[in-house]
Amino acid sequence: MGSVSDLIIQQIINGISLGSIYALIALGYTMVYGIIQLINFAHGDIMMVGAYIGWFCTTTLMLSFIPALIIAMFFTALLGMLIERIAYKPLRHATRLAVLITAIGVSFFLEYGGILILTPQTRTFPEVFPQTVYEFGNITFKYGDVVIILTTVILMAILTLVVKYSRVGKAMRAVSFDKEAASLMGINVDNTISATFAIGSSLAAAAGVLIGVYFNTINPLMGIMPGLKAFVAAVLGGIGIIPGAMVGGLVMGLVESFVSGIGFSTWRDAAAFFILIIVLIVKPTGLLGKNIREKV
Amino acid sequence: MKLFNVKNLIRLLVLMVVYGIIQYLFINKAINPFYMMTLVLVCIYIILAVSQNIITGFTGQLALGHAGFMAIGAYMSALVVVRMQGSLVAGIIFGALMAAAAGMLIGLPTLRLRGDYLAIATLGLGEIVRIFFLNMDYLGGATGFSVPKTIDWTWAFWLMALSVFLMSSFINSSHGRACISVRENEIAAEAMGINTTKYKVMAFTMGAFFAGLAGAIYANYMYLIHPGTFSFLKSFEILAMVVLGGLGSITGSVVGAGVLTIISAGLADYPEFRMVIIALVMIILMVYRPNGLLGNKELKLDFLRIKKKG
Amino acid sequence: MKTKKIFTYLIVALLSFTLLAGCSPKAPTDQPAADVVKIGGNFELTGGVAEFGKKGENGAKLAIKEANEAGGVLGMQIEYVGADNKSEAGESTAATTKLATQDEVIGIIGPMTSGNTLAAIPVITEYGIPLVTPTGTNSTLTVTEAGALNDWVFRACFIDPFQGEVAANFAMDTLGATKAALVIDQKGDYAKGLAASFKETFEKAGKEIVASEQYVAGQDTDFRAILTNIKNKQPDIIFIPGYYNEVGMIIKQARDAKIDVAILGGDGWGTGPIVDIAGKEAMNNTYYVDHVAADDPALADFAAAFKAEYNQDADSFAALGYDAAKLLIAAIEKAGSTDKEAIRVALETMSGFAGISGDINVDSATHNPQKSASILKFVDGEKIFAARVDPK
């Protein structure tokens, strides 16, 4: 069994399904960065909170996948706005490093608060969708893979439409372009930033629920590594650029699959970082980034 | 700059008094070994924080790979001491030099990057270093690498004092001023004829050297080094100390490192709440003092200084 | 600015206060030494393996609580002092130093992982404090690579080589396997140790290891890439000596990828929610090595008490934490004093200790407990006894 081409196709499927999740998380990083130039290190932990809300909905409230997803996205959006108001808004005019440290503080707070309240115990999701496995020769993929990829594509399409055509989306683009000019044009900058956090956080929650449902386990520290990798994906694609997050996420997923596939699974993360560094050195603004000449 | 001016003599005197008091208390069992260990860790973190401050606070380059340099210093010194039966001094020097070499090697290509791109590139490099040591079974791999404890409080304290002195001398030299000009305005500095790449690499190499030194002290004090200790979270911790103390303030970094390390040790009796409290301290301090405890001012021994005017 | 200066001085004052407060001399005569016995716990309460540390600590606390309800030890109540090592070696050294010098405990339970235990050994040796690790399975913890005995270190679990050997013999003799694949947790030496001894035993018998894949526990959730490789190599059996979180996910993903061969593992599969994670059907045709007392009614009592106390399911980490604490308490009882050297000797000569994870006889030459192992098989989510293996 197992011709080389089957193996490659299987690894591509594995990579796309993993990369879709990175892409969803990366979107939140990229949106927040685009608007206030903050690396929101707490983003991965917001995803964790989303996963826990989804878990609560599917276990205690016995809801099915879609309502659980929507509830998790809604409450996480509120959490994102709350964090922004309490921790980041007072620092709007402080140095970016100060905000970065606050973000790290928020991240630690969510992680260790999670350990304190939710206990470090791993929780398992119930089976919310069928465990069907599709087989084509030697190639297999699951119903879950289809759900992950579909959810990611739908959410990204919605996001693109919102950013392009809605009032909020237009306001976001204006604020990210020039905050002061936007406020002079009558755009409420604070509300726009809040909206960005809300949307970014709800996308993270969607990723969290998908991870929980697909891999079946969640714990309070689950956000650290996917968060970091999604951030790398965002930078890889070009931070601040929405299609960049998608490209970056998929590239990360594929790289991880192939490095593991050729038998170097222990070097997988190192390889992902290595590729990031090479890309940054060759094209410092990421794969889809535009080179901007710094103004004097 | 004269080495033996009045100011430096007073500083030395103060250091000797601090050292003497702590040593006296320790000998008389007024400080138990756990607090002694905390004080040694404070010394290690002071070196780390000040060296991070050279890169980030004074030269304005946001690098997040300090844990990686610390790991190189720790593992390389352990290599010399354990595997090659070298002396402690040789181990420490080798560790620091290897870290500096790595810093230069990494700095040359990556310091072209700006701001957050540099941050993520250096973060990635730090993780690569950690994964490298995780895969090195010759140096303990995932189990960790046992190193005999040969460093005591005296070593740690005076190495810390020497490092801080050397780094502050660097900052007050013309090279240091050039670094600050890079932070203030890179393009203007370049226009003034300053080779910005050279100074960035210089600051980065220097920071890496002292991070390696701190790592070497850590390795020879803590009995065991483990790749997990040097994850990117350690880099975050060091950066937090610098920013909490005040970017561009050497005494600020000293205070920041002291505050965070002592709070963490002081809360050891409340293991469940410890990290939550530290996280809250970080958030609250930043929200209310965004420029850090000392801003970019230095804590001075004003009351000791001989008054020159008025 | 004046306020700034005041603020600065305030901070300095606060710091020096914290320092002095911390350093204030604690005369040992302050406490009535006679009526409490202090036992320390150095556990992974936060960080990557917090789940296991918390379970182990809860097990230990339950044992101490039960001992206190039964009148304590030597007529004294036991006071438990916890410390967190953040799942990190350096913090483990610090936590042990705190327990040894500030709390002045007479015995320490924990840590759960071999690496963190390794970091605690120099400290307990320096201060002469007996330590019982619940799940530190690495053989070098008690006997160093150079062959020297670590006088103060004891454990409640069996060591890695024993389990790997048991699993390999079972795979060859009972399951008739000739080609095995290994999936190893690269982060912990637990899995590496088991895998190494499995490989040695398996290859010595002329059989073949066709694939050896690695992952990082606590980090990886997607194992499809390595499973795709394994499927391609067509092994008869897969040996996954990891902890139940990842193993559960690996088994689930393996079955989804249509890998139907038998899967074998070590005691890290435990009694944790591995079936919930992988699903009942996926767990069919899987086996693991567990402690012999898995069918013992005492274990069920323990599980019920544990559930009542912490509202958590007991697993092998909890059981071994419980046994480690009980072993230490039994040693204090046997020593008849709180002298640390006497407790050490009592531990070294301990025999016939009835733990819930099996009877423990400490081998005084290696400090390793001589425990029997049993092999359990999953059938529709239930564990069925398959074989029993006694130590040689």
Domain boundaries, chain A: 20-234
Rounded CA separation A168/C383 (Å): 56
Greater pLDDT, A265 or B308: A265
Nearest alpha-carbon partner for C162 in C133, C189, C198: C198
Identify the weakest region by mean pLDDT among A224-233, B196-205, C2-11, C338-347: C2-11
Instruction: Check B283 against A105: CB less than 8 A apart.
Output: yes
Q: Does B280 touch chain A (CB under 8 A)?
A: yes
* Residue A78 identity: L
Which residues does chain B have within 8 Å of residue C8's beta carbon, measured at their own beta carbons? 293-294, 299
Which residues does chain C have within 8 Å of residue A140's beta carbon, measured at their own beta carbons? 256-258
- At A260 the pLDDT is 85
DSSP single-letter state for residue C47: S
Which residues does chain C have within 8 Å of residue B223's beta carbon, measured at their own beta carbons? 93, 119, 121-123
Nearest to A266 among B123, B135, B291 (CB): B135
Averaged pLDDT for residues B54-79: 94
B303: closest CA of chain A, how far (Å): 31
A230 to chain B: closest CA residue:
B120
B302: closest CA of chain C, how far (Å): 11
Element housing C183 (H / E):
strand C179-185
What is the DSSP code string of C345-381? HHHHT--SEEETTEEEEE-TTT--EE--EEEEEEETT
C144: closest CA of chain B, how far (Å): 11
Which CATH code is given to the segment(s) C160-291+374-389? 3.40.50.2300
Which residues does chain A have within 8 Å of residue B264's beta carbon, measured at their own beta carbons? none
Instruction: Check B116 against A33: CB less than 8 A apart.
Output: yes
Say if residue B310's pLDDT is above 60: no
C314: closest CA of chain A, how far (Å): 11
Helix axis angle, B66-78 to B115-134, nearest 10°: 30
CB distance C157 to C320 below 8 Å: yes
Nearest alpha-carbon partner for A237 in A256, A252, A227: A252
Nearest to A98 among B275, B281, B290 (CB): B290
Nearest alpha-carbon partner for A246 in A229, A232, A259, A233: A233
Size of interface A-C (CB pairs under 8 A): 103
Q: What is the pLDDT of residues B100-122, one digit of tens each?
A: 999 999 989 888 887 788 888 89
Rounded CA separation B81/B75 (Å): 10
Instruction: Check B188 against A296: CB less than 8 A apart.
Output: yes
Instruction: Check C214 against A265: CB less than 8 A apart.
Output: yes
Q: Does B131 touch chain A (CB under 8 A)?
A: yes
Rounded CA separation A89/A104 (Å): 15
Domain presence at residue B301? no
- At B308 the pLDDT is 42
Q: Does B296 touch chain C (CB under 8 A)?
A: no
Q: What is the pLDDT of residues A110-135, one digit of tens each?
A: 999 999 998 888 888 888 878 788 88
Cβ atoms within 10 Å, residue C164: 25
CB distance B130 to C187 below 8 Å: no
Element housing C133 (H / E):
strand C131-133
Rounded CA separation B219/B73 (Å): 8
Rounded CA separation A172/A163 (Å): 7
φ, ψ of residue C349 in degrees (nearest 5): -105, 15
Domain presence at residue B280? no
Nearest to B287 among A91, A231, A232 (CB): A91
Domain presence at residue B264? no
Residue B223 sits in which domain range? 39-230
Nearest alpha-carbon partner for A291 in A280, A283, B186: A283
> Could you tell me the pLDDT band of residue C300, with boundaries at 50, 70 and 90?
confident
**DSSP SS3 for A263:** coil
Strand segments, DSSP code E, in B93-186 are 145-146
Which residues does chain C have within 8 Å of residue A142's beta carbon, measured at their own beta carbons? 256
Instruction: Check B223 against C123: CB less than 8 A apart.
Output: yes
Query: SS3 letters for B205-273?
Result: HHHHHHHHHHHHHHHHHCCEECHHHHCHHHHHHHHHHHHHHCCCCHHHHHHHHHHHHHHHHHHHHCHHH
Say if residue A19's pLDDT is above 90: yes
C111 upstream amide cis, omega within 30 of 0: yes
Domain presence at residue B110? yes
Rounded CA separation A161/C53 (Å): 47
Say if residue C44's pLDDT is above 60: yes
Mutation target to probe the A interface, by most A beta carbons within 10 A, among B116, B235, B273 is B116
> Could you tell me the pLDDT band of residue C16, with boundaries at 50, 70 and 90?
low
Instruction: Check B255 against C15: CB less than 8 A apart.
Output: yes
Average pLDDT, chain B: 89
C339: closest CA of chain B, how far (Å): 21
Q: What is the pLDDT of residues A150-181, one digit of tens each?
A: 999 999 899 989 999 999 999 999 998 888 89
Q: How many domains does chain B have?
A: 1
Residues of chain C with CATH 3.40.50.2300: 35-158+296-371, 160-291+374-389
Q: Does C108 touch chain A (CB under 8 A)?
A: no
Nearest to B280 among A33, A109, A232 (CB): A109
Token readout for B198 is 């050279």
- At A158 the pLDDT is 92
Domain presence at residue B206? yes
Which residues does chain A have within 8 Å of residue C232's beta carbon, measured at their own beta carbons? 1-2, 7
Instruction: Check C229 against A263: CB less than 8 A apart.
Output: yes
Instruction: Check C51 against A127: CB less than 8 A apart.
Output: no
CB distance C106 to C129 below 8 Å: yes
Instruction: Check C189 against B143: CB less than 8 A apart.
Output: yes
Domain presence at residue B310? no
- At B309 the pLDDT is 39
- At B90 the pLDDT is 95
Nearest to A90 among B128, B135, B287 (CB): B287
In chain C the first and final C-alpha atoms are separated, in Å, by: 77
Nearest alpha-carbon partner for B155 in B67, B73, B216: B216
Rounded CA separation B49/B195 (Å): 26
Which residues does chain B have within 8 Å of residue A100's beta carbon, measured at their own beta carbons? 239, 243
Instruction: Check A261 against C229: CB less than 8 A apart.
Output: yes
Rounded CA separation A198/A208 (Å): 15
* Residue B274 identity: R
Token readout for C84 is 């967190």
Q: What is the pTM of this model?
A: 0.88
Q: Where are the alpha helices (DSSP H) in chain C?
A: 2-23, 50-69, 89-97, 114-127, 160-169, 189-204, 224-233, 244-256, 274-278, 297-310, 316-335, 340-348
Rounded CA separation A31/A20 (Å): 17
Which residues does chain B have within 8 Å of residue A280's beta carbon, measured at their own beta carbons? 110, 113, 117, 120-121
* Residue A24 identity: L
CATH number of C35-158+296-371, picked from 3.40.50.300, 3.30.70.270, 3.40.50.2300, 1.20.1050.10 = 3.40.50.2300
Q: What is the pLDDT of residues A224-259, one digit of tens each?
A: 888 889 988 998 888 888 888 989 999 999 998 888
B187: closest CA of chain C, how far (Å): 32
Q: What is the pLDDT of residues C241-282, one digit of tens each?
A: 988 888 999 999 999 888 999 999 988 887 667 888 888 889
Cβ atoms within 10 Å, residue C10: 10
Instruction: Check C228 against A261: CB less than 8 A apart.
Output: yes
Nearest to B224 among C22, C93, C186 (CB): C93
- At A280 the pLDDT is 86
Cβ atoms within 10 Å, residue B48: 32
Averaged pLDDT for residues A196-215: 93
Nearest alpha-carbon partner for A58 in A149, A123, A146, A151: A123
Instruction: Check B134 against A235: CB less than 8 A apart.
Output: no
Domain presence at residue B252? no
Say if residue C6's pLDDT is above 80: no
**Residue written as tokens 């998908």?**
A210
CB distance A195 to A166 below 8 Å: no
- At C3 the pLDDT is 52
